[in-house]
Amino acid sequence: MIPASVLVINKPSGITSHMVISKLRYLLQERKMGHCGTLDPMASGILPIMLGTAVKASEYLVDHDKRYYAGITLGITTDTQDSTGTVLSRSEGPLPSFGELCEAAKAFTGRIMQTPPMYSALKVGGIKLLELAREGVTVEREPREVNIYSCECINGGGGFFLDVKCSRGTYIRTLCADIGKALGCGAVMSSLVRTEVGGFTLDDALDFDLLNGMTRDEILSRAIPVERMFRHLPYAQLQPFYDRLYANGERIALKKLRGVRGETGQLFRVYNAERGFYSLGEIAEYGGAQYFKLKKLF
């Protein structure tokens, strides 16, 4: 049985996220796994794979902030907002300078409204937008608030690039297209690398292309305990009597516990003297009093 852990894969461009899962299921002879945050075939970079009971933690990793390194090509628009799509327009005049790109990008930092692209996995009426787009159908999409913490422009490697730190739900190709629209020349995303998600970086990642040459044990030796995902949360270890009640799903009055204090909704990483980290606990409120209860058991 594989312990609850995260295997961070450096996915190459040209394959789907599901293909990574299929390969690992075959090599590890394990069905219980899932990925967090799908990467399009065009994109490369960090793809966290949740192993064993760590799949229960997927929702927490998906919600984390992310960082991308994206190529941006000025003077063109496509139906997919990236370089793989059908060209809709080309700019006839001189293209903006690098300095003008940097100035335009400044307007797209902070909390901004972004309209999801048609070529996306977002569902409308139970149908993915990309499936509608492939049939030539366009539907209205409501703009959504996203947070662009930083957007640094880089001139190098034969083109312009954006180093973007952003919240969940941000579409980088839409960001490129919106910047191009603001510049009046259009733009598409020409490459995309996810460099960070939930505290995991490319330094933690195992190259997908190396998997075939590794044994099962060698692959699993690169897995990271699921505990690392929650190191930002406060620590809790309950007295043995209360720990048994808690592990069996009983809620414990907060006033009875040592070292567990906080606001309602606060999460804790919970440890046991024998098992170490084994669950997430949460402060909840019932009848005006605070209790501590099990949130996720790993």
Catalytic residue annotation: 40
* Integer Rg of the chain from CA: 23
CA–chain centroid gap for 164, Å, is: 13
Q: Which residues pair with 252 in a beta bridge?
A: 292
Q: Which residue, among 147, 151, 149, has the nearest Cα to 164 in the 3D structure?
A: 151
CA–chain centroid gap for 3, Å, is: 22
